Amino acid sequence: MNALCQLETVTNCDDKHKLCSLLAEHDYSVAAAANAFFDAPMPDAPMPDAPVPEGQDHVEDTLVMHTIRSISAESVNATMRGMPSAPSGITDVYSAIGDGDCLFDVFRRILCLLSTLHATRTEVASMVTQMRRVLFDYMEQRWTHTDATCSYQWHELVTLTHNTSIPKEERLRYGVWPEDPNGRMVAWKRERDQMYGGQSEMAAFVSLMRHYGIHLTIRTWREEADGAFYSCEVYGRNDSRQIIADVKHTGDMDTAGAHYELLRNCRFRDGVAPVQGSASRHDRKRKIRGR
CA distance 69 to 114: 11
CA distance 233 to 247: 10
Region of 175 (left: φ > 0; alpha: ψ -120 to 50; beta: rest) is left
**Does 291 reside within a domain?**
no
Region of 137 (left: φ > 0; alpha: ψ -120 to 50; beta: rest) is alpha
**Does 50 reside within a domain?**
no
Q: What is the pLDDT of residue 200?
A: 94
Parent domain of 141: 59-263
CA distance 246 to 173: 33
Q: What is the pLDDT of residue 171?
A: 79
Q: Indicate if 211 and 136 belong to the same structural domain.
A: yes
Q: Indicate if 81 and 161 belong to the same structural domain.
A: yes
Mean pLDDT throughout 242-265? 80
Q: Indicate if 70 and 105 belong to the same structural domain.
A: yes
Q: What is the pLDDT of residue 173?
A: 84
Pick the more confident residue, 189 or 271. Answer: 189
Say whether pLDDT at 274 is over 60. no
CA distance 181 to 174: 18
The one-character DSSP state at 172 is: H
Q: What is the pLDDT of residue 269?
A: 56
Cβ–Cβ under 8 Å, residues 190 and 232: no
Rg (CA), the chain: 19
If we measure between CA atoms, which residue out of 71, 29, 56, 15 comes closest to residue 214?
71
Q: Mapping DSSP to helix (H, G, I), strand (E, B) and coil, where does residue 223 land? A: strand
Q: Indicate if 21 and 139 belong to the same structural domain.
A: no
CA distance 134 to 128: 10
Confidence band (pLDDT; 50, 70, 90) for 203?
A: very high
Bridge partner residues of 230 (DSSP): 221
Q: What is the pLDDT of residue 65?
A: 92
At 242, the amino acid letter reads Q
Q: What is the pLDDT of residue 30?
A: 67
Q: Indicate if 69 and 7 belong to the same structural domain.
A: no
Least confident stretch, 3-12, 46-55, 155-164, 274-283: 274-283
Query: 151, exposed or middle or buried, with CB in 10 Å at 0-12, 13-18, 19+?
Result: exposed
Q: Mapping DSSP to helix (H, G, I), strand (E, B) and coil, where does residue 3 land? A: helix
Give the range with max mean pLDDT: 47-56, 153-162, 244-253.
153-162
Pick the more confident residue, 188 or 26. Answer: 188
Q: What is the pLDDT of residue 202?
A: 94
Least confident stretch, 1-15, 90-104, 147-161, 242-256: 1-15
Confidence band (pLDDT; 50, 70, 90) for 113?
A: confident
Q: Indicate if 92 and 169 belong to the same structural domain.
A: yes
Q: Indicate if 18 and 139 belong to the same structural domain.
A: no
Least confident stretch, 69-78, 186-195, 252-261: 69-78
**Does 284 reside within a domain?**
no
At 132, the amino acid letter reads R
Pick the more confident residue, 66 or 230. Answer: 66
Q: What is the pLDDT of residue 28?
A: 74
What are the backbone angles phi and psi of residue 254, rounded to the nearest 5°?
60, 35
Q: Indicate if 28 and 99 belong to the same structural domain.
A: no
**Does 75 reside within a domain?**
yes
Residues in the chain: 291
Domain count across the chain: 2
Q: Indicate if 31 and 113 belong to the same structural domain.
A: no
Say whether pLDDT at 116 is over 70. yes
Q: Indicate if 77 and 210 belong to the same structural domain.
A: yes
What CATH number is attached to the domain comprising 179? 3.90.70
Least confident stretch, 215-219, 259-263, 275-279: 275-279
In the chain, the N- to C-terminal Cα span, in Å, equals 37
Pick the more confident residue, 195 or 86. Answer: 195
Mean of the per-residue pLDDT values of the chain: 74
Q: What is the pLDDT of residue 178?
A: 94
Pick the more confident residue, 149 or 67. Answer: 67
Least confident stretch, 14-28, 132-146, 183-197: 14-28
CA distance 114 to 21: 33
Say whether pLDDT at 19 is over 90. no
pLDDT digits (tens, 9 = 90+) for 67-103: 998 887 666 655 455 555 666 655 677 876 777 899 9
pTM of the model: 0.70
Contacts of 29 (CB under 8 A, 6+ apart): 23
CA distance 109 to 87: 18
